[in-house]
Amino acid sequence: MAKATFTAEVLTPEGPIFKEEVEMVSTRTTVGSIGILAHHQPLLGMLDPAELRLYRSDDDIVRFAQGEGYVQVSPDGVLILVEEAVPPGDLDVAELREKLKQSQGDLEGAEEGSEAQRMAGQAVRRWEAFIKIAGGDE
């Protein structure tokens, strides 16, 4: 039996990445993982770096490494606004490890409680998540 579908749209600062009918959206908010199906209650949440999964069907899944952002669920569908969304196959583990190393250095050098410390910590979490998604943590 076919599941009900809804529109899922993924936007980054560079523009739209995805806009299609899906059966489910799976991602991670700042308070935990979430799966969104058709007719979900309205919701606004903050997103953590994680793997974003957009299920066209049970066996047709579009995946992205998502950066920080927001998710909005409304009667019209799901809108995901993220800093970046990259297909896992486009991730370069060596480049990500270098970005992680730089961010860790920035974090160590940042003043306690500063905006620089918050931003560096956020970057460390993003690059760690992207490395895991790319399969580079094995």
Domain definitions of the chain by residue range? 6-88, 91-133
Residue 75 backbone phi and psi in degrees, to 5: -60, -25
Q: Which CATH class is domain 6-88?
A: mainly beta
Instruction: Return the percent helix, strand and coil in the chain, to nearest 5.
Output: 30, 45, 30
pLDDT, one tens digit per residue, over 103-119 is: 999 999 889 989 999 99
Q: Which pTM does this prediction carry?
A: 0.88
Q: What percent of the chain stands above pLDDT 90? A: 90
C-alpha distance across the termini of the chain, in Å: 38
| Per-residue pLDDT reduced to its tens digit, 46-80 | 999 999 999 999 899 999 999 999 999 999 899 99
Q: Supply the pLDDT for residue 3.
A: 84
SS3 assignment, position 44: strand
| pLDDT score, position 137 | 65
The dihedral over CA atoms of 125, 45, 36, 13, expressed in degrees to the nearest 10, equals -70
